[in-house]
Amino acid sequence: MHALAGQLLDAAGVPWTEIFVGGGVAAVAAAVMAGLGVAALAPRMLPFGAVDVGPKLGLPDLPRLPVLLHSRVKDGRPRNALAALSAAFRSAVRG
């Protein structure tokens, strides 16, 4: 998402400066909530209390990206758990 956001901003002619690179979504979300800047996050990753400022700041829309699950699990209980997780993701995306 990081590289894609930069490309979209450049293509739209929106000047930007990277001021924080976190070790994951939680770190980036904490930086956003601390007021350090804005971040390109999928709606499902937004921390409680965060707001979408894209339209207000004239930022380009982010594309919807698929969630991919990769596994070596083939059968048994782990396979059942993976199937349940997949179903939960599909349900959340469909709303």
- Alpha carbons 28 and 81: distance in angstroms, whole number: 29
Task: Give the Cα separation of 90 and 94 in Å (integer).
Answer: 6
pLDDT of residue 65: 75
Domain locations along the chain: 2-57, 65-95
User: Does the model's pTM come out above 0.85?
Assistant: no
* Contact (CB, 8 A) for 39 and 28: yes
Burial 64-90 (b: 16+ CB within 10 A, else e): eeeeeeeeeeeeeeeeeeeeeeeeeee
Give pLDDT tens digits along the chain (95 positions). 788 899 999 999 999 999 888 888 899 999 999 998 899 988 778 888 898 899 999 999 988 877 777 888 888 888 888 889 888 877 876 65
Reference 6, options 65, 68, 60; nearest CA is: 60
**5 neighbors 44 (Cβ within 8 angstroms):** no
